[in-house]
Structure 1
């Protein structure tokens, strides 16, 4: 949660200014497969972060902040938590999620941070390297144009988890996550002064 500033109106749920809060647009998504997000400390409190959408929407999600194995262990990640766990992160040994047999996966791990910082989390947590890894072969184009990404195939955390759950639980309606993301982009763009908006591409159609 973002710490509110004295005298500044904020949402009691996310701590953000009402102009960029989308809590009222978040509806329940009752996912059966639990999702654990390992968040890099530098992402905590970022107004442009999308993790808060998952925290408001998903029925089964937890967020652990850290970078090293020791920090995540202190945050509550036990070795037993990695049983039948899949890691969403591309690499030489990762499988395309869309074609993979996911019947053995009962829990998902997702890394939240810039590409470099997410890779650092992976490097500093050897146990994660032993997990079955998956990547998106045909991801949608990111609509999160207010934050720079390495490429169109890189998704914001909320977008990535939404697409992940679409594959893992085809009968699950992840529309509320997508709707909240659309609202977040619209509200963030609305805060940008008109003379500067040309610097931001229009989000692709839903």
Structure 2
């Protein structure tokens, strides 16, 4: 029997977006019959690989509107694996949800925005957090805000939202990125949200959680390939 999973933060956000949408989101392969949990075509379902675990850090996924409905979105894998430690919100340029602002305010001393140290960030004189700050045992578990969209969308989300600039940022150093790429990745393209999160966990020393997420991402990639083939047949 196919396993059933309770809704996590990304599921609830997707459901809310569907309920409030002015028009349906129609993706490539929309006519295919899909699993309601993993969003793959039924023959490519990978729900049997989904096993929730504990996370030493918390996550806030901030979604671009175009990304939340995509079956190929990898951010939701974080919520699949760490459902009790992941919350999801839709990005708004100037008027974010009050619930999100309240959450950011409540965690202002133990929160970071995971985003590259761009030229704009450098010009603002932003000082990145150090690993020692994040792993301070006197603080509550650290929370990371992840901008979930394409690279272009994520850059737009950051640069157009001044309220995001108030959050200290955490930068994964280029040397750590190269090391992770050599050990785990088989490409030199921009990293997906799940990959950059696995890299973050590795960088913080949480190797077990990093490998679990990376392995789950690789299963997800294979399912996407199978689902795309089956979806084309059903169009």
TM-score (ref. length: structure 2) = 0.65
Q: Unaligned 5+ residue runs, structure 1?
A: 146-151, 194-206
The question of 1:68 aligning with 2:93 is answered: yes
The question of 1:154 aligning with 2:190 is answered: yes
Preserved contact between residue 35 and residue 62 of structure 1 (Cα < 8 Å): yes
CA deviation string 1:119-167 (max 9, x = no partner):
221123223212221222222237486xxxxxx2631111111221233
The question of 1:88 aligning with 2:120 is answered: no
From the superposition, tell whether residues 101 and 172 of structure 1 become closer, same or farther in structure 2 (CA, over 3 Å): farther
| Structure 2 residue aligned with 1:106 | 142
Match of 1:46 among 55, 59, 70: 70
Q: Within 5 Å, which residues of 2 pair with 1:1-206?
A: 8-58=32-82, 59-70=84-95, 72-74=96-98, 76-78=100-102, 79-83=104-108, 84-91=110-117, 92=122, 93=126, 95=128, 101-103=133-135, 106-137=142-173, 138-139=176-177, 140-141=180-181, 143=185, 152=188, 154-168=190-204, 170=206, 172-190=208-226
Shift of 1:100: 5.9
Preserved contact between residue 39 and residue 71 of structure 2 (Cα < 8 Å): no
Deviates more, 1:23-32 or 1:106-115: 23-32
Q: Unaligned 5+ residue runs, structure 2?
A: 1-10, 19-25, 230-235
Preserved contact between residue 40 and residue 223 of structure 2 (Cα < 8 Å): no
The structure, 1 or 2, with the larger RCO (C-alpha pairs under 8 Å, 6+ apart) is 2
Work out the CA distance in 2 between the residues paired with 1:29 and 1:125.
33
Alignment length (residue pairs): 185
Shift of 1:192: 6.2
From the superposition, tell whether residues 14 and 186 of structure 1 become closer, same or farther in structure 2 (CA, over 3 Å): closer
Tell me the C-alpha RMSD between the 2 structures. Answer: 3.2
Shift of 1:7: 8.2
